[in-house]
Amino acid sequence: MPVANGSRVPRVGIVGAGQLARMTVQTAIPLAVQVRLLAASADDSAAQVCRHVAVAQPTDFPALAAFAAGCDVLTFDHELVEARHLRDLERAGRVLRPSAETMAIAQNKARQFALWRKAGLPSPEKRAVSSAEEIVAFGDEHGWPVIVKAAQGGYDGRGVWVVPDARAAAELWLQALDRGLSLLVEQRVAIEHEIAVVLARRPGGETVVYPVVKTVQRDGICHELHVPAPIDPTLAAEAERIARAVAEAMKVVGILAVEMFVSEGRVLINEIATRPHNSGHFSLGGALTSQFENHLRAVLDWPLGRIDLLAPAVVTRNVLALSAGTNLHAGITAALAIPGVMVHLYGKQPRPGRKVGHVTALGDDLDDARERATRAVEALGGIIWERGAEREEAHP
Ligand SMILES: Nc1ncnc2c1ncn2[C@@H]1O[C@H](COP(=O)(O)OP(=O)(O)OP(=O)(O)O)[C@@H](O)[C@H]1O
Ligand SMILES: [Mg+2]
């Protein structure tokens, strides 16, 4: 059911005001949808470009409840609202899309895995642990090194550790205790490709699925998207099947991104997000309807837009600042002079390794698009990972 009755401007509340919300605001304009933001800070990326901004932490329930009361539907640009608060909002009659139940799963990698297991979906073996000994037992059983992850709150590789042996497991355990993290241990798999499937789903189940994306990750951070992914069509079909099954199992409304590994000829789920996602950035300018617009349409229960690519190949490269002194605008004219390149800057203060924007290039093939996207990142002063530029410290 559409959440607004059609007689007035629909008000979509987004909890969080990062670049995902900023690009959602951008796509709300032609639909005359009023986006309202709950921003942690008045200078957040999306708060800079939106008229209706409330400032509060996502953990501040009274502020969240007051914010929700002024919106027809509430959606999210991160996973930081506590699940019990989301349930309380629903009990108070607020419309959450995705729902509190879906968000509770999306927030926690252990809950995600429990669902994949129940639904018969493939993912590297993993287990929630409550002692260093349990990490060691898992490593002895499944082989070393193992991957240890924070069950909740990790992003851009923060909260992911490669653990080579029992001694490292003991050290990590102590650090995690200090930080109050709950951990899971995961089998390290051999990765041929990292891929992602982004889809949009309406409350009644209508779904559109974007072409499979190959992602290039370094140090747990996504640097590039290549679309369509240059992989065997059988694997691409399997990836799409898995993503659709995840969407049904989680009763997703809005965008779902499923990060996957191609490993030894199989497709395995890594993790998912139930909101617009970095893996879908190519769609803004690279596809007929962007993930941001389709997220809005889905949460309003409006017809979804077509996802066809606008060129045979689309490549997106993230712009990660080289240093705090990186001046993105010094290079913008050079970047824009490259044909077929679109620049998206997030209005974020550069810091070494911080994701401050992305560029998308349309091309006749992936090499062609990638070459132009790379030149644009270079012009803007971003890190080109393959040239050995080291990020000093990453703070997204
Ligand atoms: N089981 C695994 N085996 C091998 N490599 C892995 C495994 N799990 C994760 N990785 C590597 O670590 C990266 C980050 O892992 P993951 O996506 O779980 O973390 P994250 O910090 O939540 O990332 P995001 O920024 O996408 O939210 C993956 O993209 C992959 O390169
Ligand atoms: Mg990830």
Q: Is the CB of 155 under 6 A from ligand 1?
A: yes
Residue 224 Cα to ligand 1 midpoint, Å, equals 15
Q: How many percent of the chain have pLDDT more than 90? A: 92
Instruction: Give residue 381's identity as a one-letter amino acid code.
Output: G
Handedness of CA 17, 20, 23, 29 (dihedral sign): negative
How much is the mean pLDDT over the chain? Answer: 95
Query: What confidence tier does 4 reach under pLDDT thresholds 50, 70, 90?
Result: low
Percent of the chain scoring above 70 in pLDDT: 97
Q: State yes or no: pLDDT of 5 exceeds 70.
A: no
247-260 average pLDDT score: 98
Question: In terms of pLDDT, which residue wins out, 184 or 4?
Answer: 184
pLDDT computed for residue 391 by the predictor:
44
Distance 16 CA to ligand 2 centre (A): 19
Question: What is the C-alpha radius of gyration for the chain, rounded to an integer number of angstroms?
Answer: 21
| Ligand 1 contact, 259 CB (< 6 A) | yes
What are the tens digits of pLDDT across the range 361-393?
A: 999 999 999 999 999 999 999 999 998 744 444
Question: Of 260, 360, 258, whose CA–CA distance to 313 is shortest?
Answer: 360
Q: How many H-runs (helices) and E-runs (strands) does the chain carry?
A: 12, 17
CA distances from 165 to 22, 39, 138 (A): 43, 41, 11
> What gap in Å lies between CA 274 and CA 272, rounded to an integer?
7
Query: Side by side, which strands form the sheet with 52-55?
Result: 52-55, 34-39, 11-15, 73-76
Closest ligand to C-alpha of residue 162 is 1
Provide φ and ψ at 270, rounded to 5°: -90, -70
Asked if residue 396 has pLDDT above 80, the reply is: no
The length of the chain, given as a count of residues:
396
Q: What confidence score (pLDDT) does residue 196 get?
A: 99
Question: What pLDDT does residue 136 have?
Answer: 98
Residue nearest (by alpha carbon) to ligand 1 atom 30: 220
Cα dihedral sign, 234-236-237-242: positive
Read off the pLDDT of each residue in 124-143 and give the average, rounded to a whole number: 97
- Ligand closest in space to the Cα of 394: 1
Please tell me the number of the ligand nearest to residue 184's CA. Answer: 1
Which pLDDT score is estimated for 2?
72
Quick check: CB of 154 below 6 Å from ligand 1? Answer: yes
Mutation pick for ligand 1 pocket among 262, 271, 354, 385 (CB with most ligand atoms within 8 Å): 271
Q: Which pLDDT tens digit goes with each residue over 192-221?
A: 999 999 999 999 999 999 999 999 999 889
Q: State the pLDDT at residue 128.
A: 95
pTM equals: 0.96
CA of 273 to the centre of ligand 2 (A): 9
* Token pair for 382: 């971003």
Are β-strands 193-201 and 160-163 bridged in parallel, bridged antiparallel, or unpaired? unpaired
Interatomic CA distance for residues 154 and 198, integer angstroms: 20
